[in-house]
């Protein structure tokens, strides 16, 4: 069954004018980066929705920064996995690939993907919390493990710095949302990889693609709210499924 499905998806990818991809935390799971809602959770006994909010940052900026430094350390020690790498090679072997990611870990860039829309920002950047416009790229600056309870970093203007990511309840960059929606509308094949399809507006993209006639392919280890909408469901880990598709291109 899976073999026939993989053959079918590879055949459609080969002839597709435009392929769009939406990834979530699941594609980074095999790099050792915990997912948001998986059993290993993300951090201590906090849930992401507790900490990834402007209210949490206003209430406990040091705790939020401790969480993000912990994630930067994890991600800094992680490498792109076979799923990220296969996707980056799709950019060269297929006609046109647009990669929309909900992930903030930067692993798609490190895998060599270029055409990326980071809907939720990037954990390696910090920006002024008061909006003076300062953005600081701290890519690869892995915080030391014994950092402990470190001070909240400050912007040159004196305000606090915050992670340059989109928190729950915050609006996404309209230009990025528009680019992602155009990628979904224009896709002949829409691959949805490693996302629980719970977080909007990203979770709305597959139905945009489906309405415009795209073949929607879900790659996940379990069912999600998207499974019933998908034309093809490839059940398995992204780091196995994506190379298996690539081998058939």
C-alpha 72/C-alpha 82 separation (Å) is 21
Q: Which of 77, 61, 52 is nearest to 150 (CA)?
A: 61
Q: Which of 214, 175, 208, 159 is nearest to 191 (CA)?
A: 214
Q: Does 35 help bind ligand BV8 (rule: CB under 6 A)?
A: yes
Among all chains, which residue has been given the structure tokens 């692993």?
107
- The DSSP output letter for 187 is -
Q: Which residue number has the CB closest to ligand BV8?
A: 26
Strands in 215-220's sheet, in edge-to-edge order, are 116-118, 97-101, 19-23, 189-193, 215-220, 232-235
CB closer to Zn ion, 132 vs 145: 132
120 has catalytic annotation: yes
Build a one-symbol-per-residue string for 143-162: x at contacts with ligand BV8 by CB under 6 A, - elsewhere.
--------------------
CB closer to Zn ion, 54 vs 112: 54
Cα distances (angstroms) measured from residue 226 to each of 159, 217, 233: 41, 10, 10
102 binds, among ligand BV8, Zn ion, none (CB under 5 to 8 A by kind): ligand BV8
In the chain, DSSP assigns E strands to 19-23, 97-101, 116-118, 121-128, 135-137, 161-165, 189-193, 215-220, 232-235
Q: Which residues pair with 136 in a beta bridge?
A: 126
Q: Does 166 help bind ligand BV8 (rule: CB under 6 A)?
A: yes
Build a one-symbol-per-residue string for 220-249: x at contacts with ligand BV8 by CB under 6 A, - elsewhere.
xxx-x------------xx-----------
Q: Does 52 help bind ligand BV8 (rule: CB under 6 A)?
A: yes
Interface residue with ligand BV8, options 80, 106, 194, 206 (CB under 6 A): 194
Dihedral angle, C-alpha 233, 236, 239, 241, nearest 10 °:
-50
Q: Which of 20, 38, 201 is nearest to 113 (CA)?
A: 20
Question: Shortest gap between Cβ of 157 and Zn ion (angstroms)?
Answer: 3
CB closer to ligand BV8, 84 vs 188: 84
Question: Shortest gap between Cβ of 15 and ligand BV8 (angstroms)?
Answer: 25
Question: Shortest gap between Cβ of 42 and ligand BV8 (angstroms)?
Answer: 8
CB closer to ligand BV8, 61 vs 96: 61
224 binds, among ligand BV8, Zn ion, none (CB under 5 to 8 A by kind): ligand BV8
Q: Are 103 and 25 in contact (CB under 8 A)?
A: yes
- Residues engaged in binding Zn ion (CB under 5 A): 128, 132, 134, 155, 157, 159
Interface residue with ligand BV8, options 36, 65, 90, 124 (CB under 6 A): 36
- The DSSP output letter for 17 is S
What is the set of active-site residues?
120
Summarize as ranges the residues that interact with ligand BV8 (CB under 6 A): 24-26, 29-30, 35-38, 52, 102-104, 120, 165-172, 194-196, 198-201, 219-222, 224, 237-238
């Amino acid at each position: 069954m899976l073999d026939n499905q993989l053959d079918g998806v590879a055949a459609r990818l080969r002839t597709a004018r435009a392929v769009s991809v939406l990834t979530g935390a699941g594609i980074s799971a095999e790099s050792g980066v915990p997912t948001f809602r998986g059993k290993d959770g993300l951090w201590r006994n906090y849930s992401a929705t507790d900490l990834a909010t402007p209210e949490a940052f206003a209430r406990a900026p040091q705790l939020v920064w401790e969480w993000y430094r912990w994630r930067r350390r994890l991600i800094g020690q992680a490498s792109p996995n076979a799923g990220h790498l296969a996707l980056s090679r799709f950019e060269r072997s297929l006609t046109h690939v647009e990669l929309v990611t909900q992930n903030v870990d930067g692993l798609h860039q490190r895998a060599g993907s270029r055409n990326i829309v980071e809907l939720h920002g990037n954990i390696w950047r910090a920006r002024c919390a008061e909006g003076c416009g300062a953005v600081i790229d701290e890519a690869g600056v892995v915080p030391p493990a014994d950092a402990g309870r470190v001070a909240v970093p400050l912007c040159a203007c004196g305000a606090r710095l915050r992670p340059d990511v989109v928190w729950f309840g915050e609006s996404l960059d309209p230009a990025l949302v528009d680019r992602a929606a155009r990628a979904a509308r224009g896709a002949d094949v829409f691959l949805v990889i490693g996302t629980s399809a719970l977080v909007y507006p990203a979770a709305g993209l597959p139905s945009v693609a489906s309405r415009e006639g795209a073949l929607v392919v879900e790659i996940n280890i379990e069912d999600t709210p998207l499974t019933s909408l998908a034309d093809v469901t490839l059940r398995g880990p992204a780091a196995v499924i994506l190379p298996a598709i690539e081998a058939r291109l």
